[in-house]
Structure 1
Amino acid sequence: MAKSISKFLMMSLLGAAVAVSGCSGSGGNAAESEHSGGAGTSSLDPVTLQVVIPGGKGTNFDEVLAEVNKRLKAELNTQVKFTVIDFADLNQKTNVMLSSGESVDLMFDAPWLHLDTMSSQGYYEELSGLLDQYGPNVKKTRPQQMWDANKINGSIYGVPLGSAYTQERAVFIRKDLREQMKLPPVKTYEDLKAYLYAVRDSKPGITPLLAGADDVTYSWVNWLIRDDTSVNIRPTNFAGASLILYYKGNDGKVNNFFETREPVIWSSIQDVRKLFKDQVMSQDVLTNKSSPAEMQLQNKIAASPQMAFGIPKPFNDQLKQVVSDGELEAVRLFDLTPGKNLSNFKMDNFICIVKASKHKERAMMFLDWANRQENYDLLEHGIEGVNWKAVGEHQYETLNNDAGIVSFQLMLNPALEREWVGTDEETREYRQFIAQADNFTKDIMTGFTFDPAPVKNEVAQFATIQAKYYSGLFNGALDPDEYFAKFKKEGEAVLKKIQTEMQRQADAFLAQ
């Protein structure tokens, strides 16, 4: 379910059915159909795979890609070309690519993007047959529990990418500033607010807090709600990480925020509105074009939500180039009590084979190649001996601009991940906790996937309405009393139809 804190973090932070009926494995050429992933170049036609992923290109992107293609040419007579799309443009551009039939073989997708919708509309290949024939490494590096929980209507439309059963989440703050202001370590949300107000009052020129507006996952209210185990509120994913329709507790009921005005969500909206009016939250939260991580490393903001439990070493290295004594630390509000957190064991990210691809078999062969340790390491960390070196079986040490091409976008799994040797003990404790399924209570909706097809027009219509209000309300930039009423007036009739259909499907699922 989680993105790992590895090389993808630098890329991602510096940048949120009608079943497919085709036969698995169809669409490739004859030569590919006759050979497995271990075939040599003499028996495979030359193929260049087009792969679409989110993020940004790391420092050593070109050098690492050259080594990737060198190995692929020798082993599979294959080359791979990556189209890298900024997160802010991801939804629109991938929609256009799929609907226009652009030549793409592998595409990143996610429940918070449009995985369910695109699968139900027939844009992705069902993978069971391809996995059985060409993907033994893809299958064995993911536990059966992960495969079972990440099907869509009982079928596999994407390889699940993740290494834990919930997301790593923290707020990165400046340890050096906190100590200068003589504040104790931040352990609670109230401690965090005390730090933010102290920055406002004593550090002119540094914005205390910047959340994310282009991905609702990173909106400030979403960030706080996800770690509140007293209510266990979580998105239904019909519109990304939106909490307008949400699950609460573990009863399978689809709640409608327009109807409930859920107290804990509403109070958080009011709280962040105060942060905005007090000029603690960035006044440019809705229009800012740089990522919070990038701005934090430039000494422009003092706190930002990040999908990680610990500080990546390159972050502090980069910050010190701007502020000699600058240092980040992670504020973790995640509850480490076994059983308090729910998990549906779903992953946040997937790699899909596009239905229109003419190279489906080769695409799976490439994924299988990427899920071998030596190739996984190359893609994630770069060239061994140049960018990184192995430490023991499951750790690594950076050498020179440790940076690969991909991780969570292509092949992330729990079996092959390495941990940076300098990871502090507390961060390691948090990561080990979320990597153990027994630490979580099983979500009653585990295995359920909403099929948006019956209300696809309403889903599209609501997405347009939500875009006008959600980020502004959930980041404090819009007055909740005035704009929530407008949001509700425009969206409640449409949302009610979606809620009714989702509840119908949820009840049918639970009845089984």
Structure 2
Amino acid sequence: MKKKLFVVPLAITLLAASIVGCSKEESKSTESASTAGSAAPAKSKDPVTLNVRLFGAENAHYRAVDPAVKEFEKRTKDTLNTTLNLTWTPPADYGTKQQLWLTAGEDFDLFVPWDKDKNAKDGALADLSKYFNNPKYPGLQKAFSPEYINDNKIFGKTYVIPVTNAFMDMEGVYYRKDLLTKYGMKEIGSYDDLYNFLDKVSQNEKDMVPFANYGNMAFFKLFTDINAQQLEGKVFPFTGGGNPKANYLYAQIAEDGKSVAGIAAYGDPASEWAKINPKYGLDYLMNEFNQAKRFNKFIPADTLTATTGTGKQTAAGFVTLSNFMGTEAGIKAKVPNAELGFWPIFKNNQEMAPGKQSTDGKAWNFLAIPASSKKIDRTMEFLDWIFSKQENNDLFTYGIEGTNWQPVGTNQWKVPDGVDPAKNYLFPGYQLTWNPTLNRIPAGLPDQLKKYYDYQFKPETYKKNVLAGFTFDQEPVKNEIAKCNTVVQKYLPFLLSGFGDINESLSKMNADLKASGVDKIKEELKNQINSFLAQKK
């Protein structure tokens, strides 16, 4: 699963689109899983309790959700007549526990599947195909187009419900704009500009960390451009996709899009990389590592080992668009006169060019219903209600209107004056409510950030890449992948943070990958991609 987690500081609660609730009432009746009925009942149904299981820690992912859930139950008493029993599990335990729930056949009706492909293959998930593109479920029909559902099928069936509001969360760098002004420097528009700014900070602000490291992978997605790599170069990283923290294979699709031209592993000899377009293959990879080496002096020296921050203020760092305003608020809480700028790191985002954002049409997160649930119809009626109109979706996403949030214009929102963000409603919409048709943006954004939001919400921003619809079935090589992942975790922090000798790290990494079975993974990946491409029309 592509877990898109917005685990953010307190201030982000002012702006993040997230929320839900919890109720412990018991139901005296259950419903058998029957054929799809009306999702907008004309009269009250028998009472039912839906057991919903999500992941999260209080105050980090959710907060004060009971009133919103009670409000839902009140509004739908005469129609859905549904009580929600919401259970939260800490993220560190969620993956293990959900497998135990499924194996034990526990009584629950809706959850976020972290191992959806395996769950579907094992027969643990209900096939929900009949509920979509079905006029009896108008909310689902409106919010989930046939293309959207088709792009997110597993083994040809709808075992999961895609949950996302856009196919990207624009990635970039935040920087202290007030310091830029202080030094008389121009706005950041390139990596050279960023380097010069950080160099000034390191010389003049001795109590600051120039660049905030992204864990032990310091620069994370900086120095990459996954969109150009996939759309222009037809080069695809595996097994981490757009996440450099997990990649160690590059697959080149032939120019005609009908077969794999080559696959190379990190540290492979030049003869293997010769089959990959160098602009998006070896040259691209080495530039990423060399840039990390160049910028290394701007991150904390203990980046690879530190488990907590330095406690010092930072002048710049990686951030997504959805988290930018929260990051700014957090910094301004300590430095009231601070002002932040945002620089998108991918070229197409900088230019806001249409048709240049690579996508496979897949969501970041998903919902699923256990095949063992006796309340599938009622669960889908609940979801149909959430997606039927903005007002319903807003209740779970933002809380109670007037109490937790206020609408601004037609598509913006804000926290009411006098409401304490530390105590206000918080819910992870990315687990339940997000959808491309039901978007709001925070009020009060700078004009440029509004333009970035508009860009990422426009359908014309995106273009399907040649591997859209392909999913690498890792089961045949799961043991080899597990071993290679251990290797990756050993070496990539050095490479992505700019520590150590690049060629030496790659050589050692390659030897360990070979010993862990990477060649078998390459062959399996090649065969699966070729089979997929051969079946495309």
Is TM-score (shorter-chain normalized) higher than 0.5? yes
Give, in whole Å, the separation in 2 of the partners of 1:225 and 1:338: 20
Give, in whole Å, the separation in 2 of the partners of 1:243 and 1:165: 20
Give, in whole Å, the separation in 2 of the partners of 1:466 and 1:432: 36
- 2:275 aligned with 1:255: no
- 1:91 Cα shift? 5.1
- 2:481 aligned with 1:482: no
- 1:92 Cα shift? 5.5
- Residues 20-419 of structure 1 correspond to what in structure 2 (within 5 A)? 29-30=31-32, 36-39=38-41, 43-54=45-56, 56-58=60-62, 60-68=64-72, 71=75, 75-86=80-91, 104-109=108-113, 114-131=115-132, 135-213=137-215, 220-226=219-225, 229=228, 233-237=235-239, 241=243, 242-247=246-251, 251=257, 253=260, 255-258=263-266, 259=268, 260=273, 262-276=282-296, 278=297, 280-289=298-307, 300-308=313-321, 311-312=324-325, 314-334=326-346, 335=348, 336-372=352-388, 373-399=390-416, 400=419, 401=421, 403-419=425-441
- Residues 418-433 of structure 1 correspond to what in structure 2 (within 5 A)? 418-433=440-455
- 1:345 Cα shift? 2.3
- What SS does the aligned partner of 1:415 have? coil
Contact 2:117 2:154 in 1 (8 A): yes
- What SS does the aligned partner of 2:476 have? helix
Contact 2:8 2:323 in 1 (8 A): no
- 1:273 Cα shift? 3.0
Contact 1:221 1:265 in 2 (8 A): no
CA 1:228–1:240: 2 relative to 1, 3 Å: closer
Aligned-pair Cα RMSD in Å? 3.8
Instruction: Describe the superposition over 1:330-389 as per-residue Cα deviations: whole angstroms up to 9, x where unpaired.
Output: 111231233444332222222222344454333333322322422311222222102221
- 1:174 Cα shift? 2.1
What is the aligned partner in structure 2 of residue 509 from structure 1?
Answer: 532
The one-letter code of the counterpart of 2:534 is A
CA 1:322–1:65: 2 relative to 1, 3 Å: farther
- 1:128 Cα shift? 0.9
Give structure 2 stretches of 5+ with no counterpart: 17-29, 274-280
- 1:155 Cα shift? 1.9
- 1:475 Cα shift? 2.8
- 2:515 aligned with 1:498: no
The one-letter code of the counterpart of 2:484 is F
The one-letter code of the counterpart of 2:392 is N
- What SS does the aligned partner of 2:192 have? helix
The one-letter code of the counterpart of 2:383 is L
The one-letter code of the counterpart of 1:161 is V
Give structure 1 stretches of 5+ with no counterpart: 15-27
| Total equivalences in the alignment | 484
- What SS does the aligned partner of 1:255 have? strand
- 1:488 Cα shift? 1.6
Instruction: Describe the superposition over 1:143-186 as per-residue Cα deviations: whole angstroms up to 9, x where unpaired.
Output: 33322222223222221122334332121222223323332211
Give, in whole Å, the separation in 2 of the partners of 1:356 and 1:264: 48
Contact 1:244 1:257 in 2 (8 A): yes
What is the aligned partner in structure 2 of residue 25 from structure 1?
Answer: none
Give, in whole Å, the separation in 1 of the partners of 2:316 and 2:225: 18
Identity, % of aligned positions: 25
The one-letter code of the counterpart of 1:169 is E
Contact 2:176 2:339 in 1 (8 A): yes
Instruction: Describe the superposition over 1:112-156 as per-residue Cα deviations: whole angstroms up to 9, x where unpaired.
Output: x64434433444333213446785423421333322222223222
CA 1:273–1:416: 2 relative to 1, 3 Å: same
Give, in whole Å, the separation in 1 of the partners of 2:475 and 2:338: 50
- 1:323 Cα shift? 1.2
Larger Rg: 2
- What SS does the aligned partner of 1:413 have? coil
The one-letter code of the counterpart of 1:347 is A
Give, in whole Å, the separation in 1 of the partners of 2:469 and 2:33: 37
- 1:227 Cα shift? 5.2
- Residues 418-457 of structure 1 correspond to what in structure 2 (within 5 A)? 418-457=440-479
- 1:397 Cα shift? 2.8
- 2:482 aligned with 1:460: yes
Contact 1:388 1:398 in 2 (8 A): yes
Instruction: Describe the superposition over 1:39-69 as per-residue Cα deviations: whole angstroms up to 9, x where unpaired.
Output: 4895334324132235723454454455455
Contact 1:60 1:404 in 2 (8 A): yes
- What SS does the aligned partner of 1:396 have? strand
Instruction: Describe the superposition over 1:61-109 as per-residue Cα deviations: whole angstroms up to 9, x where unpaired.
Output: 45445545555666432213141534x6665565565566665533324
Contact 1:37 1:76 in 2 (8 A): no
Contact 1:171 1:303 in 2 (8 A): yes
- What SS does the aligned partner of 2:393 have? helix
Contact 2:107 2:373 in 1 (8 A): yes
- 1:408 Cα shift? 1.5
Instruction: Describe the superposition over 1:205-249 as per-residue Cα deviations: whole angstroms up to 9, x where unpaired.
Output: 3222234348x7xx6253431356266554344688333123457
- What SS does the aligned partner of 2:397 have? helix
Greater CA drift, 423-432 or 95-104: 95-104
- 1:37 Cα shift? 3.9
CA 1:166–1:69: 2 relative to 1, 3 Å: same
What is the aligned partner in structure 1 of residue 19 from structure 2?
Answer: none
Contact 1:135 1:368 in 2 (8 A): yes
Give, in whole Å, the separation in 1 of the partners of 2:400 and 2:319: 27
Give, in whole Å, the separation in 2 of the partners of 1:302 and 1:92: 38
The one-letter code of the counterpart of 1:127 is L
CA 1:138–1:463: 2 relative to 1, 3 Å: farther
